[in-house]
Amino acid sequence: MTTFKPRRLLLHVIIICIGLIMLYPLLWMIMSSFKESTEIFQSNSFWPKKFTLSNYIEGWTGLSGFTFGRFFLNSFFLVAMCIIGNLLSCSMAAYAFAKLSFAFKSVFFALMLGTLMLPFHVTVVPQYIVFKHLGWINTYLPLIVPKFLGVEGFFIFLMVQFMRTIPKDLSEAAEIDGCGPIRMYWKLILPLALPALITTMIFTFIWTWNDFFSQLLYLSDVKMYTVALGLRMFLDAMGQSSWGALFAMSTLSLIPLFVIFIFFQRYLIEGITAGSIKG
Amino acid sequence: MKKMIIGLFSIILVISLAGCGSSNNGSSADGKVSITISWWGDTARNKKYNEIADEFEKENPNIEVKRQFGSWNDYWDKLATQTAGGNAPDVISMHPNYAADYARRNTLLDLDQYIKSGDIDVSNFPKSVVNSGKISGKNYMIAQGVTTSGQVVNKSLFEKIGVDAPGDQWNWDHFVDKAIEVQKAIKAKGLKGTWAVDDQSIQYQPVFEYYLRSNGKQLYTEDGKLGFTQKDVENWFNMWETLRKAGAIPDAATVNEYANVSLEQSLFAKGKLAMHDIPGNQLYLYADQMKDSQLEMVRHPQGPSGDGEFVEGAYLSITKSSKHPKEAAKFINFFVNSEKALKIFKIEQGAPGSTKMNDYVKPQLEKGQQQSLDFIQKTLKYAGEAPYPPKGNTELTTEFTNAANSIAFGKSSVKAASAAFMKKAESIVNNQ
Amino acid sequence: MKSAWKRNWVGFFFLGPWLIGLIGFTTIPMLTSLYFSFTKYDMFTPPNWAGLANYIEIFHDPKFYSSVKVTAIYVLLSVPLQLIFALLVAVLLNRGIRAVRLYRAAYYVPSLFGGSVAVALLWRQVFDSEGLLNSVLGVFGISGHNWISTPSTSIYTLIILAIWQFGAPMVIFLAGLKQIPVDLYEAARIDGANKFQQFFKITLPMLTPIIFFNLIMEIIHAFQAFTPAYIVSGGTGGPLDSTLFYTLYLYQKGFTEFHMGYASALAWLLLVTIAIVTGLVFASSKKWVFYQE
C-alpha cells in the first residue's frame, strides 16, 4: 500500500498468531489423513513420513456398494430441505413475534423459548413413537418436516432480534402506502433481515451436516446414510478403527462447509446497502 | 425470483415424499418375508455382516434381510430407543454387558422352542457355551463368538529388560511379585514412562470377576444378589495399592488419560506396558499394531479355589417384538452353523460357538488370529459358569470405577472407598 | 385502526406453521417426558406412577450435586469468556484490513467441526501429557501435567474447548455489526469521538439486542452442554466425575442405566433452572437492551 504502518503490521501478526491456534487441529487432521494408519498414533511428527492417498481411496469406497459420494448427495439433499424449512417457518414466526401484535403473544414467545430448555434425551423416545405412528421411520421426513414447522426456536429468536432492530418508521411508512402485512413481510422485512436469514442458512447447513443423533435414529438404510453417519462407520470402540480413513473423509466433509461459509459471508458482512431493499 | 424459489421448493418436496413412501411391516404380497438384523462394528466388520446376509438371501430367496448397524455407543443408544418405541430389529447383536438389562426387562424371545424344533442347532456347542447364553434358565442368546480374557504379554519388552515372561500357571501373589520384579528391571534399564502392568483395579468386569471366582466367590449369586463381601473388595484394592506404591502401575492421571482411547492409542499398543488385560479375540488386533514386538497371551492368575475363567462373547438374540421369529431363527442358525457364514466371519467376535465350526475355521486363519483362537480354545476348558448380573449392573460398574479412581487419586482410603461402594452396591441390587 | 379480530388473524396466520409444530412435534414429547418424571420408567416396560419419588431421590443423590457443580462452573466461565472473545474478534474482523475474509474463515474453522469424533482427538493432541500445550510449556522449561485426566484441571480444558469453538456467536455479532447504520459513525467522527468512544457510545449500545440474544442462547446451550464431555470422556464424565455435566449424567441415567423416569425428572429440574436464569436476564434486559422502536 502507501506507507509502512507498524500498528497495522502488529495487528496482522496478532491475528495470524491466534489464527494458527485456531487452525492447528485442522492442519494436524489434514496431515494425519495422508499418513499410513499405523503411523498416526505411533509417531508424534506433524508431517507424514511419506504421503499416501490410500486413506482417501479406502474411505471413499465405503461399503456395500455405496461410496461416500452417495452420502454427500444425501447430506446435500437433507441440508437443502432443512434450510428451506427453517428460512420459511422461522421467518414467518419471527415476523409475527417482532412486528405484529396478537393475543397471548408473550405467552407464546415464552413457550417458544421454553421448548429450547429441555434436554433432548428425554424427549427422544416419545418423539420416536410419534414418528413411528406417522410411519416415518427410515425416511427423511422426521428430519425435514419439523423444520417446516418452526421447531428451531433458536432461529426464530435470532430473527426476532434482527427484525426488532429495523426502524419502526420504515414499516409505518409502508403501512401508510397501503402495504398489507403479507407484502410487508415479503418486500420489506425479509430483505432487511437478510443478515439474519444468511446466518440461519449457514448455521442450518453446518448443524444439519454435523448432527448425527437424529439421523442415526431415523435413518437405517445405508443408501440413505448421510456424511455424518458415514463418518461414524470408521469407528468402533470394541475393535479396530480406521483412523486414516476417518481423517480423510472428515477432511473432505469439511470442504462444503468451508466453501459455504466463504461464499455466504460476503452477503452476511460485506454490505447490504439501502439500495437492495427495493427488490 | 419468488416463483423460482416456490417452484424449486415444491419439486424438492415432491421428490422427498416420493422417496419415502411405503412403510414396511415385514411381509408383502408375493409371500416374501423381510427381517431386520442389527450389529455393532466398523466398516471392516460391516462388510462381513453384509456378505453373510447376502449369502443367506441367496440360500433363502423368499427372505429379505434388512441391515442396520452402528459403532458401539451408537448401536446401544439406537437399540434402546427402538426397543422403547416397539420397533426393534428382529435379530439383534447382544453383549453380556447389556444382556441382563434387556432380558430381564422382557424384550428378548426365549429361543428354547426353536432349539427344540431344530431350527437353531446347538448340538455342536459345548455345554458351557450354550449356558453362557442363558439368563435365569432361559435361552435368550446364541453365541456367534466366544472369548475368554487373559493377560497379553509383550515378550520383546520382557527380553529387553531380562525378566522371564510369566506362564499360564500362576496365582495372584506370583502376579504381584512378577509385576514388581518387572518394574525394578524397567527402572534399572532406565526406561521412562513404562510400567509392568496397567491399572486393572477399575475392571469390575472381567478382571475383578476372575479374581473373585479364583477365590471361590462370584460377582453375583443365582438370585441376583452380590456374591462377594466388603473384605473381598478391600483385598482387591489393597493388591493394586501395593503395585501402585511400587510404581508398577501407571499413576491415576495417566490411567485416566488412556481410559477411553481406542486400541491403537492404548499404552500397551505404544509398547509402554509389559502386561495388559484383554479379551483373547483381540490379540491379533494388537499384533497388527505392534509389528515389531512379540506378543503372547497368558491366563489370568489362579487362586486358592482354582480357575477364574468364564465364557464371554458376542451373541445373537431375537426380540420379542419380532413378527417373523421363525425366519429370524433361521438366520441365526445360518450365521452360527453354516460354513458359508463362518468362512466370512471367522473369529471376528471370538471363537465360533460350535466346535465343528472351530475346526472348519482354524486352518483358514492368519498366524495372529490362530494365536487368538488357540488361547481361547485352551482357556475355555477351564471355564465355569457365571450367573448373569441383575438389572443395574451398569450402575454398579460405574460405582466400582469411581471407588477405584478415588483410591488411585488418593481421595479416599481403601477401607473407606470399599465401604462406600458396598453400601451403594447393596442398595442398587436390593432396589431392583 | 384495525380490529383486534383482524390483528389476531394476521398474527396467527404467520405463527401458524410454528403453532402446528409446537402442538404436533414439541408439546407431545415434552408433556410425555413430564409425565415420565413422575414415574419409574425403564424404557422397555410400561411406566409406574411414583409421584414425587424421583424428585425426592435427586436431592439425596451425591452425583446430582457433583454434576450441578461441574455445570455451574462451566456456565459461569464459558458463557462470558466465549462471548467476550467472540465480540472482540468480531469487532477486530469487521474492519477494512487486508485478507480479512480469509481471517474470518480461519477463525470460524473450529466451529465447523461441531461435535465430531475428530474434536476429541484434536483436543487430546493439545492437552494430553505429550500434547501441544506441554511441548510449548517445555520450551519455557515448565514441566507438563496431564491436563485432561487430572480431576482439578479437566473441566477447564473443556471450557477452553468451548471458547475455541466461538464461531457461532462471532458470526451473529458480525451480522449485527452490519446492521448498525454507517451514518451514526460519521456523525460521531464529525463530533470528534475517537475509536474507543465510538465503540462504547455507538457499537455497544446498538449491538445490545444481539448481545442479548447471544447471551440467552449461550446460557441455554451451556446448561445443556453434552457433546464435549461425551466425546472426550467416552461418556463417563471422568476422571472422578470432574467432567460429569448435568446432561451427561442425565443421559447416563436414561440411556445406560435405563432410569428414564429419573432422567426425565432431572431434565425438568434443568428446564426450571434455565427458565429462572433466562427469566432474570430477560427482566434485566429492559435496563440495558435498546431497540429502535
Q: Are A168 and C293 in contact (CB under 8 A)?
A: yes
Kindly state whether A125 is in contact with chain B, defined as any CB-CB distance less than 8 angstroms: yes
Q: Does residue B11 belong to any structural domain of this protein?
A: no
Whether residue B204 sits in one domain with residue B103: no
A108-133: pLDDT as tens digits = 999 999 999 999 889 999 999 999 99
The pLDDT value recorded for residue B386 is 82
**CA count, 13 A, side-chain hemisphere, A114:** 15
Please judge whether C21 and A146 are an interchain contact, meaning their C-beta atoms are less than 8 angstroms apart: yes
Neighbours of chain A (3+ CB pairs under 8 A): B, C
The pLDDT value recorded for residue A149 is 93
Chain B residue numbers touching C149 (CB-CB < 8 A): 252-257, 259
Whether residue B197 sits in one domain with residue B245: yes
Asked whether the predicted pLDDT for residue C246 surpasses 90, the reply is yes
Find the domain containing B60 and state its range.
Answer: 34-147+311-379
Asked whether the predicted pLDDT for residue A42 surpasses 70, the reply is no
Chain A residue numbers touching B6 (CB-CB < 8 A): none
Q: Quick one: three-class SS letters along B266-309? A: CCCCCCCEEEEEEEHHHHHHHHHHCCCCCEEEECCCEECCECCC
- The count of CB pairs under 8 A between chains B and C is 71
Whether residue B208 sits in one domain with residue B350: no
**Band (B325; pLDDT cuts 50, 70, 90):** very high
Percent of chain A with pLDDT over 70: 90
Q: Burial-class residue C204 by CB neighbours within 10 Å (0-12, 13-18, 19+).
A: middle
B349-362: pLDDT as tens digits = 899 999 999 999 99
**Band (A272; pLDDT cuts 50, 70, 90):** very low
Please judge whether A233 and B68 are an interchain contact, meaning their C-beta atoms are less than 8 angstroms apart: no
Whether residue B131 sits in one domain with residue B220: no
State mean pLDDT over C239-263.
92
Whether residue B226 sits in one domain with residue B109: no
The pLDDT value recorded for residue B337 is 94
Torsions phi, psi for B365 (to 5 deg):
-90, 155
Q: What is the DSSP string of C84-126?
A: HHHHHHHHHTSS--TTHHHHHHHHHHHHHTTT-HHHHHHHHHH
Kindly state whether B86 is in contact with chain A, defined as any CB-CB distance less than 8 angstroms: yes
Kindly state whether A237 is in contact with chain B, defined as any CB-CB distance less than 8 angstroms: yes
Beta bridge partners of B201: none
Torsions phi, psi for B277 (to 5 deg):
-90, 130
Kindly state whether B76 is in contact with chain C, defined as any CB-CB distance less than 8 angstroms: yes
Q: Are A37 and A212 in contact (CB under 8 A)?
A: no
Pairing of β B142-147 and β B312-318? antiparallel
Please judge whether B12 and A81 are an interchain contact, meaning their C-beta atoms are less than 8 angstroms apart: yes
Neighbours of chain B (3+ CB pairs under 8 A): A, C
Name residue, grid cell 453365541.
B143
Please judge whether C247 and A119 are an interchain contact, meaning their C-beta atoms are less than 8 angstroms apart: yes
Whether residue B357 sits in one domain with residue B261: no
Interface test with B, best of A73, A137, A140, A233 (most B CBs within 10 A): A233
Kindly state whether C101 is in contact with chain A, defined as any CB-CB distance less than 8 angstroms: yes
Interface of C with A in 111-170 (CB under 8 A): 111-119, 121-123, 125-126, 130, 132, 164, 168
Interface test with B, best of C256, C262, C264 (most B CBs within 10 A): C256
Asked whether the predicted pLDDT for residue B236 surpasses 70, the reply is yes
Q: Are A98 and A112 in contact (CB under 8 A)?
A: no
Residue C74 to residue A144: CA distance in whole angstroms: 32
Chain C residue numbers touching A272 (CB-CB < 8 A): 178
The pLDDT value recorded for residue A173 is 83
Lowest-confidence pick of A68-72, B28-32, C16-20: B28-32
Contacts within 8 Å (CB) and 24+ apart, A63-67: A63/A222, A63/A233, A63/B43, A63/B46, A63/B47, A63/B50, A64/A222, A64/B46, A64/B47, A64/B50, A66/A222, A66/A223, A66/A225
B194-235: pLDDT as tens digits = 999 999 999 998 899 999 999 999 999 888 889 999 999 999
Whether residue B333 sits in one domain with residue B406: no
Whether residue B265 sits in one domain with residue B200: yes
The pLDDT value recorded for residue B314 is 92
Name residue, grid cell 483381540.
B282
Instruction: Please state, in angstroms and as integers, the Cα–Cα distance from residue B172 to each residue in B147, B235, B242, B381, B385, following that order.
Output: 22, 11, 12, 20, 21
Nearest chain B CA: its distance from C162 CA (Å): 20
H/E element, A230: helix A227-232
Name residue, grid cell 432461529.
A155
Averaged pLDDT of chain C = 87
Residues in chain A: 279
Whether residue B347 sits in one domain with residue B406: no
A229-269: pLDDT as tens digits = 888 888 765 556 678 888 899 899 989 988 888 888 777 66
The pLDDT value recorded for residue B25 is 47
Please judge whether C92 and A116 are an interchain contact, meaning their C-beta atoms are less than 8 angstroms apart: no
Interface test with A, best of B71, B76, B94 (most A CBs within 10 A): B71
State mean pLDDT over A175-192.
85
ipTM for the whole complex: 0.87
Chain B residue numbers touching A238 (CB-CB < 8 A): 40-41, 72
Choice between C8 and B10, residue whose per-residue pLDDT is larger: C8
Whether residue B351 sits in one domain with residue B273: no
The pLDDT value recorded for residue C134 is 82
Q: Tell me, rounded to whole angstroms, the distance of Cα C21 from its chain centroid.
A: 24
**Annotated domain spans of chain A:** 80-210
C-alpha cell at B311: 465364557
Q: Quick one: three-class SS letters along chain B? A: CHHHHHHHHHHHHHHHHHHCCCCCCCECCCCCEEEEEEEECCHHHHHHHHHHHHHHHHHCCCEEEEEEEECHHHHHHHHHHHHHCCCCCCEEEECHHHHHHHHCCCCECCCHHHHHCCCCCCCCCCHHHHHCCEECCEECCEEEEEECEEEEEEHHHHHHHCCCCCCCCCEHHHHHHHHHHHHHHHHHHCCCCCEEECCHHHCHHHHHHHHHHHCCCCCECCCCCECCCHHHHHHHHHHHHHHHHCCCCCCHHHHHHCCCCCHHHCCCCCCCEEEEEEEHHHHHHHHHHCCCCCEEEECCCEECCECCCECEEEEEEEECCCCCHHHHHHHHHHHHHCHHHHHHHCCECEECCCHHHHHHHHHHCCHHHHHHHHHHHHHHCCCECCCCCCCCHHHHHHHHHHHHHHHHCCCCCHHHHHHHHHHHHHHHHHCC
**3-state class of C191 per DSSP?**
coil
Kindly state whether A242 is in contact with chain B, defined as any CB-CB distance less than 8 angstroms: yes
Residues of C with CB under 8 A from a CB of B: 42-45, 124, 128-129, 146, 148-151, 233-236, 238-241, 252, 255-258, 260
**Band (A93; pLDDT cuts 50, 70, 90):** very high
**Residue B405: partners with Cβ closer than 8 Å, 6 or more residues away:** B202, B252, B256, B411, C238, C239, C240
**Number of domains chain B contains:** 2
Please count the other Cβ atoms lying within 10 Å of the Cβ belonging to residue A266: 11
Among C106, C119, C274, beta carbon nearest to A19 = C106
Pick the CATH number of A80-210 from 1.10.10.10, 1.10.3720.10, 3.40.50.2300, 1.10.287.10: 1.10.3720.10
Residue C88 to residue C205: CA distance in whole angstroms: 15
Q: Quick one: three-class SS letters along B10-43? A: HHHHHHHHHHCCCCCCCECCCCCEEEEEEEECCH
CATH code for the domain in which residue B304 is found? 3.40.190.10
Lowest-confidence pick of B103-112, B302-311, B388-397: B388-397
B18-44: pLDDT as tens digits = 444 334 444 555 678 999 999 998 878
Interface test with C, best of B71, B256, B270, B405 (most C CBs within 10 A): B256
Chain B residue numbers touching C248 (CB-CB < 8 A): none
Residue B161 to residue B191: CA distance in whole angstroms: 9
Whether residue B61 sits in one domain with residue B110: yes
Residue B371 to residue B377: CA distance in whole angstroms: 10
Name residue, grid cell 380490529.
C3
Asked whether the predicted pLDDT for residue C281 surpasses 50, the reply is yes
The pLDDT value recorded for residue B248 is 94
Residues in chain C: 293
Q: Are B91 and B315 in contact (CB under 8 A)?
A: no
Among B9, B23, B264, beta carbon nearest to A41 = B264
Interface test with C, best of B92, B398, B407, B432 (most C CBs within 10 A): B398
Percent of chain A with pLDDT over 90: 34
H/E element, C49: strand C48-49
Q: Are C44 and B105 in contact (CB under 8 A)?
A: yes
Chain C residue numbers touching A13 (CB-CB < 8 A): none
Confirm or reject CATH 3.40.50.300 for domain C56-288, answering yes or no: no
Asked whether the predicted pLDDT for residue B193 surpasses 70, the reply is yes
**Residue C224: partners with Cβ closer than 8 Å, 6 or more residues away:** A117, A119, C246, C247, C270, C274
Neighbours of chain C (3+ CB pairs under 8 A): A, B
Whether residue B254 sits in one domain with residue B172: yes
**3-state class of C48 per DSSP?**
strand
- Kindly report the CA angle at A275 between A269 and A279, in degrees rounded to 5? 100
Please judge whether C236 and B260 are an interchain contact, meaning their C-beta atoms are less than 8 angstroms apart: yes
Name residue, grid cell 446460557.
C219
**Annotated domain spans of chain C:** 56-288
C-alpha cell at A84: 428451506
State mean pLDDT over C41-62.
92
Nearest chain C CA: its distance from B112 CA (Å): 22
Kindly state whether B84 is in contact with chain A, defined as any CB-CB distance less than 8 angstroms: yes
Residue C97 to residue C51: CA distance in whole angstroms: 62
Q: Are C180 and C198 in contact (CB under 8 A)?
A: no
DSSP state of C39: E
